[in-house]
Structure 1
Amino acid sequence: MNTKYIQELKHYSKAEILEIIDEKSFDKLLKYAIITKDECSFQFKFVGVIIIDEVVLNCYPKYIPNKDNIEDDFKQTVRVIKKYNSLNEEIDYQNENLEDISFNLLSMMVFFLEDYFENGVYTNIQNILEINGNGEIDWNRTVNYTDPIIKDNKPYYINFHTKYKINDLFDYFRLLHEYVITDCSRRLEKAGLIDLFDLTPVEISPHEQDDFGEITQILENLEKELNVEFMTRKRKLLRSMHSYLAGKNSFSNENYLTVFGTDSYHVIWEDICKRIFRDQLDKPLRELFEDSHSSKKLIDFIKKPVWHLTEGDFKVDTFRPDLITFWNDYFVIFDAKYYKLKISEKLEKQPGLSDITKQYLYELAYRDFIKKYKFKGVKNAFLMPTYDSKVENKGYVEIGILHDLGLENIQVIMLPARKLNRFYLENKKMKISNINLE
């Protein structure tokens, strides 16, 4: 397959894109909003891997500059997406229609191989019962179903019920699972994606799909097994195999499309910042302050809007900070902003007015709390990713009428995304003293 690198949200002309994919593939990506139109140019609103019509598109985040040697940075990005998915999402392909299944085939292939390396193949254990066998004595069955010899008022058993378990190596579903794993490995190798996903090629099955029957019969067998299997992992595997085999034929269709990644990388950037800087929003106060026994959480201190109507009063959802933490007796409010500032004669691609006013309001919402727990002050900042290797404090943004109320202006902190990605992958934390809060 032909592999091309694409920068998220970079402006491309249609002619530039058609040098990589054909018109039908272009229209399909436009239909799924992976490509979006912006005036007279087009952008890829996606971070991750796209396979369409024998072309692999590796879409890297917008903060990474357009450069030739992109492989290492993109591999780190894929690992971050995988880590986020493992922390925040439970894969379940049940009840998807065929088009959705085809769309998610790449994610399924990665899932099958990672699950295999962690848990092995699908197993069906058979319980074998014998009389006077070599297995463990089943005393319950022996006592209930065997007549003993009584001597001196004591029972003596000359025959025993014994039991042992065997792993059926020729079980239909085990062999089918081995075929699916091998098939996924071959397809990922063909697409040149084995190394990108940190996987190892797997060849554990000599079988082809036809060896298991017609596709309708295979799917029916999987459904029957689901009706009698209640173990969570095995049910997940059965559902995933059903979805994979039902949608696999799309690989031979013209302009097939499958993806691994996200059209909302800002959510991942937010999760990175929350975990690295020890977000405390959902911690009960008793875990944060020695003199508190309250189960109330920090998020609970932001009051909800109340609609006072003739029919009654109605509370609705309120705004929520990205993360709150403490540092050197300061109350710290961070907002993870996945923006790429453009600074020339004027400022572009910056957070909007509503983002700025919300940051001021977060401090206002916690004003009584900050006084009660005697914080020295407040630090309020936007956290944005940069490709540079060092933290940079760009300055601050101010709304005069709110600053005049005694509220802190919002600092603009540029964080080295590659370093934060590494910390995220390694479950490390970063000291706030390292990010130049002024």
Structure 2
Amino acid sequence: MAAMNGGGTRRWGWGSARAEHQRADAQAAKDDAAAAFYELDTAQRDLRISIETLNAVDDSPAARKAVADFADFGSRIDQVSHEYISAVDAHDLDRDDLDAGAAARARAELAKARQELERVRGELQRFGESLAPLLSQAETQLARLAPAVERAKQGLLAASNALDATRDSGLKADDLAGRLAALSPDLTKLNEGAGQHGVQETLRRADRVVREAEAVRGEAERLPERAAETDKRLASLRTRAQALHTRAGQVEPVLSELRRRFSAACWQDLQQVPAQAAKSVQRAEEKLAEGRKARDEQRWADATAQLSTVRALLNSADEAIKAAGDRLQRLNEVSFDHTKEVERTRFAIRDAQRLAMAGRSTPDPSHAGPLDDAVARVDRAVAGLTGRHPDYWHLLTELDAVKEAVQRVVEQIREQRAAGQ
């Protein structure tokens, strides 16, 4: 009996110690699982902040995929967390009657739960590391946000101040004021913040406001100078129009001398010059008056357009008037001695021929042909000077055409030699 009691006592003592040891192991497994659970939860919360940043800043396909992948991780984390909580709830390690077997099962299940928690945390960590480039870009965008919004506000203030200064100088600048007022809704949205309108959209809006405000500011600051320049152009063009009006009246005497001294072929194409010049000057004066009115009303774009038209009309009149005077001068020179112009042309031909023969025993046919033709054209033009009133204008135009043809041959030779042909 004593032996049985002694043996029983020893078995009970050994079983109790084993149970306590298993309970301790299970409790350690529970503590380890709890630590793994906490670490996973912390990692998820930390990464969620990054994902929210990414979602707010970056709308690229890569960013959208990262957000979706994180949501998938959330489901897996919920699953392993549920398994951990279930394992904890399934085993009361503080029970007095906890036997070694139950403690061993608890330890095994809690150890498994810890392993799953740690596995998912490792995957989550690797996933977070893979997002480093995207997060770096997102953080850069966020770092730009506040300065960009501030630049936009300062740009609007500078534009407003420049507009006020321009108006103080007596200029209306209504169009600039309208453009500045149109930016007011954008300023309201910038003040409402990126939380309501998104980081990317806020950055784009801020950049647009900066550009528009800078344009308004620049134009406002240049407006007094533009007004002064417009006034200067008005005065200059008015003076030029008056001068051309006087010169247009001098064309008819030039034509009379041409008619008297030269054949009809020398002046027929100039018959309409007096009327054309007078018409151009008249239209220029009308456009000048319209430009003056536009300037007085501070319609700067209209004023600039009118003055450009005035300049074109006066240029046209000037060229026509000058053409008549130049014609008479050239005809006077060639009628007195046409040999000088002819010799200049022949010299140009000979110079081109020397270039064509340089380094060659025979000329290239593509060069020789046009040059030979040029010689023949000069001979024919000179031979055509017959009668009481030779057609000197034909001679001059033909010699000009020959010199142009010779110059084309010279350019061709030089290009071919530069290319090594």
TM over 0.5: no
TM-score category by the smaller chain? under 0.3
Higher relative helix content: 2
Q: What TM-score do you get using the length of structure 1 for normalisation?
A: 0.17
Provide the TM-score with structure 2 as the length reference. 0.17
- Say which one has the larger Rg: 2
Q: Whose strand proportion is higher, 1 or 2? A: 1
